[in-house]
Amino acid sequence: MELSTADSVDAALDELSRRGERCRVLAGGTDVMIQLARREITPEHLLHVERLGELRAVETEGSTRLGALVTHRDLAVGRLGPGYAAVAESAATVGGLQTQVVGTIGGNVCNASPAADTLPALLVHDAEVTLRSVRGSRTVPLAEFVVGRRVTTRAPDELLTTITLGRPIPRTGDVYLKVGRRSAMEVAIVGLAARLTFDGTGVVTDARIAVASVGPRPLRSVGAETALVGGTGDAESVHAAAKALLQDVDPIDDVRGTADYRRRVIPGLLGRAVRVCAERAEG
Amino acid sequence: MDVTLTVNGRREQVEVGPAETLLGMLRERLRLTGTKEGCNEGECGACTVLVDGLPVDSCIYSAAATSGRSVETVEGLADDDLGRDLQAAFVAAGGVQCGFCTPGFLTTLVAVLRENPEPSEPELREALAGNICRCTGYSQILDAVAATISGRNRR
């Protein structure tokens, strides 16, 4: 195995184009270094991209664009500004401070863990990911990029460079809630992000609900979203939304919790998320 | 491959492997064994060191990535005013029992208090979430931090 450090995005793309599948991209390393130690991955080459300062930028004028190397800590302290509470809250629950200061958003997306905290938060903000290669550039919705448990549609020569989020909308509240056995250093048993937009009379006009750790990949529940729109976040619409959400998930039993437990906590979690969104939309 | 970096203020040139961790480099090559290996997967914080002032789990941090950077370990805290105060306060408050987690707590706390000299208790607890201690129950560690902060304010 060998390692090289890319000093420009173009140089990184050249390297990826030459080496393809034999190459593993190393950013903060909080996942890759563990996978190497466990011999879960055995690449011929490690391409260290973490020095590419241009991929650390956050743009909030116009659309919100963040470079793939923006760290969880950057997000947790609110670098995206108001309107993205769910993203900040999800990033703040990724490991501890030590993980957050080096772990990157691009890494969390490409690792595509079923339990990835940031993915539901990005999904409720209509995230799109931009991938570059020597062949060109493409931008795809996050929901079409993460397609299975630890599976993305990234081609071996592509580098995820940018994540673009929808603009903040007035009278909107968003939140990320996580169920774990303890409040710190937990892999989610269930993670749930919500973003609700209300009209002047308190009726939900737009809803986004996404969950993690309840299926092979984090996903949005269009059924739950539809059930919430037109209601006021009342018990009845939340009940209908929870029912729809439970139809969209496919949890398993694992060391952290049973499938049955995951199903049981979802309705309460959704109800809490709706209440927090309503409060934040007013504030 | 060779990396050149600063460790506790001293310039070092070290030969490292491509998948080598910063923890391995510090303990095996530089013989700085104050940094401890706990879980070896970024969960417990015992191996925390500072890279350019940021607390990282050295067990999952690439040694090669430290090229050109400044690393501070618990050994370096003896030359650091805040590091010395914290260590004295840990001893006085009973914040050290078996001691295995202590280097990680101290380095994390140095980074946290440099950025924010007077964190609230919730802020402190959150900042220390990545450091696990199985002996003290954390109370004595928090007491030690409180004593450090008030001691430094009196000076």
- Which of B15, B47, B73 is the last residue in one of the domains? B73
Mutate to test the interface with B, among A98, A102, A182 (most CBs of B within 10 A): A98
Proportion of chain B above pLDDT 90, given as a percent: 99
How many helices and strands, by DSSP H and E, does chain A display? Answer: 11, 14
Q: How far is B94 from chain A (nearest CA, A)?
A: 24
pLDDT in tens, A179-220: 987 777 788 899 999 999 999 999 999 999 999 999 999 999
Torsion angle, CA of B26/B29/B34/B37, rounded to 10 degrees? 70
- Segment A34-61 shows an average pLDDT of 96
B129 interaction partners in chain A (CB closer than 8 Å):
96-97, 183-185
- Segment A20-42 shows an average pLDDT of 96
Has residue A259 got a pLDDT over 90?
Answer: yes
> Are B84 and B63 found together in one domain?
no
Cβ separation B130–A46 shorter than 8 A: no
> Are B29 and B45 found together in one domain?
yes
Residue B93 pLDDT class (50, 70, 90 cuts): very high
pLDDT at res. B62: 98
Residue with tokens 């990680």: B104
CATH at B43? 3.10.20.30
> Are B53 and B111 found together in one domain?
no
Is the minimum CB–CB distance between B40 and chain A shorter than 8 Å?
yes
Q: How far is B8 from chain A (nearest CA, A)?
A: 19
DSSP at B65: G
Residue with tokens 């009379």: A201
The whole-chain average pLDDT of chain A stands at 96
pLDDT at res. A62: 82
Residue A82: which of A58, A60, A104 has the closest Cα? A60
Mutate to test the interface with A, among B50, B56, B60, B134 (most CBs of A within 10 A): B60
- Expressed as residue numbers, the domain containing B148 is 77-154
Is the minimum CB–CB distance between A232 and chain B shorter than 8 Å?
no
- Segment A167-182 shows an average pLDDT of 92
Proportion of chain A above pLDDT 70, given as a percent: 100
pLDDT in tens, A146-162: 999 999 999 999 999 99
Among chain B residues, the shortest Cα distance to A41 is held by B19
Has residue A132 got a pLDDT over 90?
Answer: yes
ipTM confidence score: 0.95
Number of neighbours of residue B120 by Cβ within 10 angstroms? 9
- Segment B32-56 shows an average pLDDT of 97
- B126/B22 Cα distance (integer angstroms): 25
pLDDT at res. B109: 98
Q: How far is A23 from chain B (nearest CA, A)?
A: 13
pLDDT in tens, A79-96: 998 899 999 999 999 999
Q: Which CATH architecture has domain A172-282?
A: 2-Layer Sandwich (3.30)
> Are B89 and B33 found together in one domain?
no
Cβ separation A3–B130 shorter than 8 A: no
Proportion of chain B above pLDDT 70, given as a percent: 100
> Are B147 and B81 found together in one domain?
yes
Number of neighbours of residue A113 by Cβ within 10 angstroms? 20
Residue B32: which of B54, B66, A101 has the closest Cα? B66
Has residue A9 got a pLDDT over 90?
Answer: yes
A30 interaction partners in chain B (CB closer than 8 Å):
42, 57, 60
> Are B94 and B149 found together in one domain?
yes
pLDDT at res. A181: 79
Residue A65 pLDDT class (50, 70, 90 cuts): very high
Has residue A281 got a pLDDT over 90?
Answer: yes
Mutate to test the interface with B, among A97, A182, A187 (most CBs of B within 10 A): A97
Residue with tokens 């173009």: A10
pLDDT at res. A129: 98
Q: How far is A101 from chain B (nearest CA, A)?
A: 7
Is the minimum CB–CB distance between A2 and chain B shorter than 8 Å?
yes
pLDDT at res. A150: 95
Tokens of B49: 């060191």
Number of structural domains in chain B: 2
Tokens of B126: 């959150």
B127 interaction partners in chain A (CB closer than 8 Å):
97
* Dihedral sign (CA A103, A104, A109, A110): negative
The whole-chain average pLDDT of chain B stands at 97
- Which of B73, B101, B116 is the last residue in one of the domains? B73
> Are B15 and B35 found together in one domain?
yes
Is the minimum CB–CB distance between B11 and chain A shorter than 8 Å?
no
pLDDT at res. A185: 75
Has residue A58 got a pLDDT over 80?
Answer: yes
